[in-house]
Structure 1
Amino acid sequence: MRKFVIVLGALLVLLAVFFVFGKSIYSRPGILQVTKNVVIPKGNTEAILKHLQTEHVIGNDFINKIVFQLAAKMTENQGTLHAAEFSFPKNASIHQVLQILRHAKPVQHELTIPEGLTRYQITDLINQAPFLTGHIEVPAEGSILPQTYAYEFGYSRDKLLQRTQVAMQKALDQVWKDRQPIVQVKTPRELLTLASIVEKETALSRERPMIARVFINRLQKEMRLQSDPTVIYALTDGHGKLDRPLLRRDWEVESPYNTYWIAGLPPSPICSPGKAALEAVAHPADGNMLYFVANGTGGHSFSSTLTEHNHNVHTYKEKK
């Protein structure tokens, strides 16, 4: 009996020592040298631990292994260890690692779709974006809203595409609902198409409502829009930028997208316009402007008569 008590006492002392030592291991800074994003695969605690050791988040030794597994078991009522991409801070302790695996938000990656890209350019952008899965086919022109989209590791490209299209539809619906009624823009589709031309004509936000007004005035007078970006779209079949300067003879290309050749709007957008371009068409500037030309300072000069326009063109050429 006395031996049993001695042995039991020794075991209790050892357990107490192990508990104190294990607790210090559990809380002390870990071996990770820098903050690091790690993709945690699906699996049990043992598989997760091995991956953390491979990524040098948890020490690759027997003590750290035992402490991690015991701590995970003893705190399992705090939640499941999730499979996702997480950011682990420098010197993360086992306690911190378990908290991250259970409660942290997965790492968010971002894809920015700039205004004015064609459907082919956007398709390439999404298909080349990292950490996504799958592959998308080329969507309808103008169906994607340019903005920044957040996603997690392993997210589907198809789901991301759907989000961009839902965002465009919502934006277009709202702009159409709040628009200034304009006889020349009869449907949301026409608003989207005209906004895509406005988007390609200027990068200056202050000019978009003025350019929208020029095109609306031209439509009202049954004048052709004569927009160079529509010619480029026709020449490149919507694939992107022309690899040479636009020539006067290009204005004669027979295409439903060439607004020098057709009257009215093209059959569909020529790019994905941003919200500002949509708003510009929905709320154009006031005025009787019918022409605009580059002014050599990054903007445009606007005019209401051909004589004034020709003067602006001459002035621009002299600056060049």
Structure 2
Amino acid sequence: MWKHIAANVLTLAVVAIACLAALIGLGQSRWSAPGPLEEAVFFEVPRGASMRSVSDRLAEAGIVSNGSIFRIGASYTERYDDLKFGTYEIPPGASMPEVLEIVTAGGPSVFPYTVTYVIRSQGPEIRVRERLPGQEEVVEIATFAPGDAVPEDYTALMERGVPITWRVSVAPGLTSWEVIEGLKGAEFLIGEVAAVPPEGALAPDTYEVARGSEVGELVQRMRVAQERILADAWAARAPGLPLESPEEALILASIVEKETGVPEERRRVAAVFTNRLEQGMRLQTDPTVIYGITDGQGPLGRGIRASELREATPYNTYVIDGLPPTPIANPGPEAIRAALDPEETAFLFFVADGTGGHAFAETLAEHNANVAEWRAIEAAREATGSD
């Protein structure tokens, strides 16, 4: 009798083990299989949310096939407590491990709406864009300047309280005064900047910020970023440059930034000034003269007078030898790298060529011919009234 009972128990145990193995196999299959999501969606993980609530919402949204299996998988991979709050884009067909990676990796939030506050030489501009999940193209909702009538679509977004990515974009070549003045119109930031940072100390870039964050914190991020960019470029600089410090490199980079907006020209323009420094020639660059007149507080708004070109000021490179005492703007990383790795060329002169770029020359005779061509282009434009 006992043998019969033992045999039955053993049979039941084998069946139970087989069933358990089947369940585990099914769970593993569903865990690693492509998910049921047919189209990309945005999914929010609220601050302080639990794995249980998130897994249930993932299942309700049709992102994962089973919330319980998702939780078991998260526990088995030791990521149960690793949720990072934010809004994420989930691609179609994402498996549970892929979804888990997205919501626990802590990458930047991807909101459908983006408000970018652009600081540029023409004045600040607010750009409101929408991106549908799974698409790279963005749709323009509104573009306006601070102080203008606020578009209704922008007001509606604010009233709905939808998640928004807030950004501040600083164009290269602005002075520190222009950047700080521009930030004063960013109503989504709070606080003030006690003093204008040193010229050249702010890294032009696009910065993601939180609505209601301190403007001083953003400015500090810009300063830290510029310090890092300059240090890295200085460490990788070309040998034999006529620059004695990173500060001098920043000055030269600011001149390069102001002289050309053509990426392909930066290293060539840097080479012209490097060659002039090596030969003891004056830099003779108009942007430094303008900075000396305006102190970096906005554009000159007119042509440079002949008397201003003759006036002895620390920034008049037609009069002084070498570099001016400080940068004349905040250069971008490309201009900094160009100043520290100039093109190998004998060019000593350049002038506008009528296409947005410049004509370069090794000799004064060649340069004078290029200047004559440029003046002819200017005269023709004035005659036709074109820009």
Please give the range of the TM-score, normalised by the shorter of the 2 chains: 0.5 to 0.7
The offset of 1:250, in angstroms, is: 2.0
Written as runs of structure 1 = structure 2, the 5 A alignment for 1:37-186 is: 107-136=164-193, 137-186=195-244
Find the aligned partners of 2:87 and 2:234 in 1 and give their Cα distance. Answer: 41
User: Which of residues 373, 377, 380 is equivalent to 1:315?
Assistant: 373
Equivalent residues, number: 229
CA-atom RMSD in angstroms: 2.7
1:299 matched to which residue of 2? Answer: 357
| Conservation of the 8 A alpha-carbon contact between 1:85 and 1:152 | no
Classify the secondary structure of the residue corresponding to 2:208. strand
The one-letter amino acid paired with 2:330 is: S
**Matches for 1:266-281 after TM superposition, within 5 Å:** 266-281=324-339
Whether 1:282 and 2:301 are equivalent positions in the alignment is: no
Can you list the C-alpha shifts for 1:6-55, whole angstroms capped at 9, x where unaligned?
A: xxxxxxxxxxxxxxxxxxxxxxxxxxxxxxxxxxxxxxxxxxxxxxxxxx
Partner residue in 2 for 1:191: 249
Any idea what the Cα deviations from partners look like across 1:76-112, whole Å, max 9, x if unmatched? xx99xxxx9999xxxxxxxxxxxxxxx9956430000
Q: Is 1:258 the counterpart of 2:319 in the alignment?
A: no
Q: Give the Å deviation of 1:256.
A: 0.6
Give the whole-Å Cα distance in 1 for the aligned partners of 2:364 and 2:332: 31
- Give CA-to-partner distance per residue, 1:204-230, whole Å, 9 cap, x none: 011110110000000011110000000
Identity percentage of aligned residues: 42
The answer to whether structure 1 residue 211 and structure 2 residue 269 are counterparts is yes
Alpha-carbon distance between aligned partners in 2 of 1:279 and 1:265, rounded to the nearest angstrom: 18
Cα distance in 1 between the residues matched to 2:185 and 2:349: 40
Structure 1 unmatched runs, 5+: 1-77, 88-102
Give CA-to-partner distance per residue, 1:260-300, whole Å, 9 cap, x none.
12100011100000011001111111111110001111110
Query: For 1:149, what is the secondary structure of its paired residue?
Result: strand
Distance apart, 1:183 and its partner CA? 3.4
8 A contact 1:86–1:107 mirrored in 2: no
The TM-score with structure 2 as length reference comes to 0.56
Contact kept? 1:85, 1:153, Cα under 8 Å: no
Deviation at 1:127, TM superposition (A): 2.2
Q: 1:122 to 1:233 in 2, by over 3 A?
A: same
Structure-1 separation of matches of 2:261 and 2:167: 23
**Kept after mapping to 1: 8 A contact 2:257/2:331:** yes
* Structure number with higher strand proportion: 2
- Determine the structure 2 residue equivalent to 1:69: none
Equivalent AA in structure 2 for residue 144 of structure 1? L
SS for the counterpart of 2:167 is: strand
Alpha-carbon separation, structure 1, partners of 2:216 and 2:374: 46
Scaled by the length of structure 1, the TM-score of the pair is: 0.67
Kept in 1: contact 2:241–2:340 (CA 8 A) = no
The CA distance in 1 between the partners of 2:87 and 2:359, in whole Å, is 52
Q: Is the 8 A contact 1:121 1:239 kept in 2?
A: yes
Rounded Cα–Cα distance in structure 1 between residues aligned with 2:205 and 2:334: 11
Amino acid in the other structure paired with 1:231: V
- Report if the CA contact (8 A) 2:353-2:359 is conserved: yes
Work out which structure has the larger RCO, using CA pairs closer than 8 Å and 6 or more positions apart in sequence.
Answer: 1
Aligned mates of 1:129, 1:110 — CA distance in 2: 10
- Cα displacement (A) at 1:247: 2.8
